[in-house]
Amino acid sequence: MSKNKNVRSAVEKELGFDPRVDSSDIRVVNIGGHVNLTGTVPSFPQYLQASAAARRVAGVTSVDNNLEVALPESSYRDDVKLTTAANNALAANVTVPDNVEAIAEDGNVTLTGIVSYGTERAAAAEAVAGLTGVRNVWNNIEISYDIDPVDVDLHVQEALDRSALVPDGSDVKADTKDNVITLTGHVRTWAEHDAVVGAVWMAYGVMDVRDELQITG
């Protein structure tokens, strides 16, 4: 059996194993560890979870999630009701600043506003992602800082040094330009990858992260 088929089969089994994903309408294509997911799922959380499930499989180096969210009729909400629900969810989340707002159109929720940390931006997206009626979340929240790029470099490097999932001797590098971090180097697993990206996003002064890490498997 070819390696491609092994990886594809393993991803299919992992999707079927995860109780948070209805995999009946998901198709998996694998080319050398690059996995492409197509088809439909009935909710946005399942859309997100399908990617997470595929990344857990050994041999997967990247995941292109081209799934579409096909909401059942019982989950549909009109624009006004979904906009209200989304803004209520943002207001109820203590991590999300008050100036962040949501507007819904045909199940697509767009977030706007200004925050100080990437973690606040991510918290806003998570707050609305699980609402009934959401087909997609477009995160247009801006991150605003007034900090010296040298200090950004220091914060990022210290965050990586503290991370238990970043091994000693790692060749991961974080280059800073205009408060945008470009990550390069190699990690062994998606868990290490997510630890690196997550650590960088928590550092003060980071406005965006360009992920060019390579997963060796």
Residue pLDDT, tens place only, 94-104: 999 999 999 99
Specify whether 42 is located in the same domain as 13: yes
**Pairing relation of β-strands 214-215 and 186-187?**
parallel
- Please name the residue that has the structure tokens 């998901």: 26
Cβ(73)–Cβ(99) under 8 Å? Answer: no
User: pLDDT tens digits for 156-170?
Assistant: 777 778 877 777 778
- Domain residues for the domain of 194 are 149-215
Specify whether 138 is located in the same domain as 192: no
**pTM for the model:** 0.76
What does the pLDDT read at residue 3?
60
Distance separating alpha carbons of residues 40 and 25, to the nearest angstrom? 6
How many distinct structural domains can be found in the chain? 3
Distance separating alpha carbons of residues 90 and 170, to the nearest angstrom? 38
Tell me the two tokens of residue 65. Answer: 């999630």
Q: What is the CATH number of the domain that holds 126?
A: 3.30.300.130
Determine how many CB atoms are found less than 10 A away from the CB of residue 135.
20
Burial code (b: 16+ CB inside 10 Å, e: under 16) for 136-145 equals: ebeeebebee
Last residue of a domain, one of 121, 143, 165: 143
